[in-house]
Each structure stands twice: as structure tokens, then as C-alpha cells.
Amino acid sequence: MNTELVRVRFAPSPTGQFHIGGVRTALYNFIYARATGGVFVLRIEDTDLERSNMESEKLHMEGMKWLGMDYDEGPDKPGEFGPYRQSERLEIYKKYADELITKGKAFYCFCTDEELLEKKEKAKAGGLNPNYDGTCRNLSHDEVSKRLQKGEKAAVRFKVPIKAFTFKDRVKGEVTFPENMVGDFIILRSNGLPVYNYCCVIDDYLMKITHVIRGDDHLANTLRQLMLYEAISVSPPEFAHVSLIVGHDRQKLSKRHGATSLNWYKDETYFPEAVVNYMSLLGWSHPEEKSIFDLEELKRVFTIDRFVKSPATFDNEKFKWVNGQHLRSISCERLLDQIGNILPQNHRYFEQDDEWRKNCVELFREKVDLSKDMWPMIDRLFDASVEQSDGMNEINSWETTPVIREYLKSEMLRLDAENREFPTISDVNSWMKHLKGELKIKGKPLFMGMRAVLTGQDHGPDLKMFVCLTPVKIILSRLE
């Protein structure tokens, strides 16, 4: 039994929004660390100096904290394996590159970008492999030294061994890369900055990463990484390449499929519990086949062997439904806080007392999947207009509806004269009793007629609660 402490990492490039695919990668690594009592590391891969920025890094860090993914080590949580930004580790990458050159496993390449492009195009035109042609692979030590002393710019290339590489993936099973799939690839650019596959290997080795859980689109990178692990004489971590997230057209999820950033869903009033719940199911299945669960349950039941191989279809409607399930189960206090942040501060909602507001959100939470969709419903409580619709026209054509309207108008005038701000449940029950007993109106004409004249709509949430939350003067205006 392997008793090695599990160490996993999430290593985003801070070049934009926190993409929903990145959220899933971070989540799987975080959950695996928590499920195994391991360590979760946040590493910032910011060597793309032109595109990387601190604002994007901040978005990723804040997003993770919002979702409850409390990493153990990172740029703002220093540990013994830092620094945790790649831009602060350049000397480390140079040291290992120098060692590879000394061992004859890497070499300086003086070819310019223009020369490389010309060679590539010529190879393609001749039907040849466009891999690097080895121009600088066997330069003598003296020639390299002279050219470097003259100030010539040189990248560092890895000498690719001519052999096949096989590894066991925790999702895909045994994967084999045949020989000659790649040519000698760059590990350090001529400006001294490392390329992704190289610094990823050095960092994972030095940070003692034991498992790499990432998207299927990284599978192609694994070949170069296996070569580098072999070259520095260390065993690679275990790999788990989880299925791609695709849209309904079965193509990789992108902006053309709709919103893909965490911040968009946050602004749309999705709950962090719902994001964690739904994203965890895009490539993994609950052992009891449950659709709704929270983060704590996920920590208890998560195992790598529940990953699925087939691509996961991102379904916004399913995502919204999952959010609705969480919306109906969270505390009223949290919901009140969220609604308080959604509505404009001059809204009449804020003029009402705590009990009214609590009853308001409890009524409407049963009807929506997103908290923001309560806004127009709350607006309706203070809107005296009457909808014009086929349903309303039909109800108003019934001979019982004018009778209901006149009776309820007299009742509302009475409440208004008594300076009553809102009707009560007792009032509504009394009106129904009178309409049934004295005026002999029952069934559909009674309930739909009351709804139409009191709310100005032919459908809606629980009638009694809706009426009791509506100001008397608003109802009176509708009746008149």
C-alpha cells in the first residue's frame, strides 16, 4: 500500500478570466487532496509575460476562495517548496537546463525564428516531417562557446530520445506514445524564459507533486514531460487525464457555447455550492448516482476511480436546475443577504420589516432557479398594473368575476379606512368563506377570479401569501 502523502496542484496561467474548465481542474485536485488527507498547492504559471497579469491572478485566487477551495500552499500561503509563481523561479529553470546540457541531454540552438519557419515550410512542401532538423544538435563545445561569447542569442533544446514511451493513466489506462512523434523541442527560449512542458516538470518534481489531475487536452503534453522526467532521473507523478467538457455540438467548450467564466455565473447569482456540485459531475459520478450534494459530502465520497472516459456535455439548463435545488435548501438568512445585494437600495422591499422580507423570499424561492429572477416577482408586489393577456380576458369574461371584484373592492376600502398596510391570512380566508357561502362562487371561478382581480395576473405563486405581501393601496389600485 502506498502511504506517500498526496500532493496535488492547480497551476493556472493568469491571462484572463477564471475559465469554467479551470474551475473543474482546480476542484478535482482540491477534492482529491481533502479526500486523501493530502496537500493542495496553487502554482501560478505566469511565464507568458506579455499576457499574464495580476488582475487575472487575483480573479483565480478570489474565485477559488469563493468556492471554498482553500489551498494549503500558494503565492499568499508560502510553504517550503516556493516561490509559487514561475516568474520568480527562473534561476531554478536555468540551473536544471545547464545540468541537462552538461549531461548531453540538451543543447544550445542558434536558429532564428525566421530560419525555423523557413525549414518547416520547406519540409511540409516536400512531404517531410516538419520537426526540428537538428541543425545545432551536434555543434562542438568550442563553437557553442564562441557563438555565445559573441553575444548570439540561443535557445536551449532537449535532445529527444528515439524510443517509445508508455505510462498508465488513472482514467485512460495504458497509453503508449510511439517514437518520432516529436522533434528536439525547446525548453528555454532565447530570452531565458522556460516553456510550459519544461517548467511544469521541474516544478512538479521540486514541489513533490504525486498526482497530476488535468483535462484530456493535456494528454499530448505528457510525452514531452515523460521524456524530461527520465532525463532528470526521477519518477513521474501519477497522471489522470479527465474527459473534455464539450458543448451540445460535441466540440470543446468555448465562448461560442455561451458564458464560460466563473465570474459570469457568480454575477448571475449562482451559489458556490451549485458550481461545485455541477462541475464535479462533468467527468465524475457520485457512487450513489446522486445529482445534488454539497462540498462536505463530496470530500467524503470522492475517488479517482469514479472518473468517466466519455466527454462531459455542459448543459446550462441542468446547471441552473442544480442551482435551484441549492437555492431551495440554503438558509433564509443567506438568501436575504443575496437579495439585499441584488435589488437597488431605493427599492420598496427595503422599507418593509424583517418578517415581511423573510416571507417574501420564502414565497418566491420555490418559483425560481436563480435568485436574480426574484427581482421582477418582488417588483410585482408594488406594481398596480393589470396584465393584458388571453388568460386574463377569459377570466374577466366570466359572470362571477365582476361580483368578486366588487366584493373585494369594498373589503379593500374597509382595510384602507382602517389604515391597514397589508391584508392578513385571516382576511383572505374570510373573503373566500363569504364568496363561497354567501355568493355561491366555488372552484375555478372562485380561485382564478380572486387571483386575477387581486394580483392583476392569471397565474403566480401561492395566492394567500402573495396577497398578504402586497400593500392594500396597490391591490385597491388594481381593483379600481
Active site residues: 255
Length of the chain: 480
Which residues does residue 85 pair with via DSSP β-bridges, in sequence order? 44
C-alpha–C-alpha distance, residues 349 and 345, integer Å: 9
C-alpha–C-alpha distance, residues 302 and 29, integer Å: 11
DSSP H helices in 74-218: 90-102, 113-125, 141-149, 196-206
C-alpha–C-alpha distance, residues 423 and 256, integer Å: 49
The CB-based long-range contact list for 163-166 (8 Å cut-off, 24+ gap) reads 165/223, 165/226, 165/227
Name, in order, each residue with C-beta under 8 angstroms of 209's C-beta and a sequence gap of 6 or more.
Answer: 7, 8, 9, 41, 203, 237
C-alpha–C-alpha distance, residues 301 and 441, integer Å: 56
Phi, psi of 344 (to 5 degrees): -65, 145
| Closest by CA position to 301, among listed 318, 270, 273, 277 | 277
Where does residue 412 rank: exposed (0-12), middle (13-18), buried (19+ CB within 10 A)?
Answer: buried
C-alpha–C-alpha distance, residues 12 and 20, integer Å: 12
Q: Which residue has the cell 418582488?
A: 378
Cell, residue 249: 455540438
C-alpha–C-alpha distance, residues 61 and 65, integer Å: 6
- In a 13 Å sphere around the CA of 16, the CA atoms on its Cβ side amount to 9
